[in-house]
Amino acid sequence: MKNKNQAAVQAIDEIEEALRYIARSGWDGFDCSARCLETLESWGKTPVGVKETLEDIRRDLGDCRRCGLSAGRKNIVFGAGSPGARLVFVGEGPGFDEDQQGEPFVGAAGRLLTKIIKAVGLTRDQVYICNIIKCRPPGNRNPEPDEVETCSPFLRRQLRAIKPEFVCALGKFAAQTILETTEPISRLRGRMYDFMDLRVIPTYHPAYLLRNTDKKREVWADMKLLMKAMGLPLP
């Protein structure tokens, strides 16, 4: 069941996608010529042929200058993994190592995430890994609301292109952004949420786990919940 906010976000996303479809069809704006109306008419009837791919989205992101984070970044960290993944891990934003390499979760927190993925019985190549924002905030500060607002449509488009069944939201920031809530992660974790055709499991961020090793038990409980829902064999 979608709330009004989710329904509005979905409607805006669909309008955006329709406009991109029109642009890809060779139009740089609206006109009312027969050909343009024909293009509009075909929108939605041929969704398979026009479905955006991750490459389309990356191309559209380009050398992004849509927010101030572009000034200090070395690399855009778009995401990595399987474009057909059943499970997507979403973190907050790139840190130093990710910015240097242009790959998500490759630093210390990333190494722990790799172990978590392995413990679930999967590999990094079988899942998709990305972040709410694609550029490193200076000094690893929290992303500002305008940066999230500018960047999160790209995450939504990535999720629509991949069509995963499950999203694991890593940490407070990803969980609150994806679930559109201000509830603390300690209250959000421990259960699965149905959200916009996705099953979302929030858990603690691996960087937080590195500092609070006593929370590993809770993360493992969340992963077991996820494995059960995905039909993966439990140890």
Give the footprint of ligand URA on this chain (CB under 6 A). 91-95, 98, 104-105, 109-110, 131, 207
> What are the φ/ψ torsions at residue 4 (nearest 5 degrees)?
-60, -40
Min dist CB 96 to ligand URA, Å, is 9
Cβ atoms of 224 and 191 closer than 8 Å: no
C-alpha closest to that of 198 among 62, 10, 5, 65: 10
**Beta-sheet strand order (sheet of 198-203):** 80-81, 128-131, 87-91, 166-170, 198-203, 193-195
Toward ligand URA, which CB reaches closer, 17 or 200? Answer: 200
Min dist CB 141 to ligand URA, Å, is 13
Toward ligand URA, which CB reaches closer, 21 or 105? Answer: 105
Min dist CB 110 to ligand URA, Å, is 6
Toward ligand URA, which CB reaches closer, 105 or 166? Answer: 105
Show Cβ contacts of residue 17 under 8 Å, excluding neighbours closer than 6 positions: 52, 157, 160
Toward ligand URA, which CB reaches closer, 21 or 137? Answer: 137
Torsion-angle region of residue 121: left (phi > 0), alpha (psi -120 to 50) or beta? left
Closest residue to ligand URA: CB criterion: 91
Min dist CB 104 to ligand URA, Å, is 4
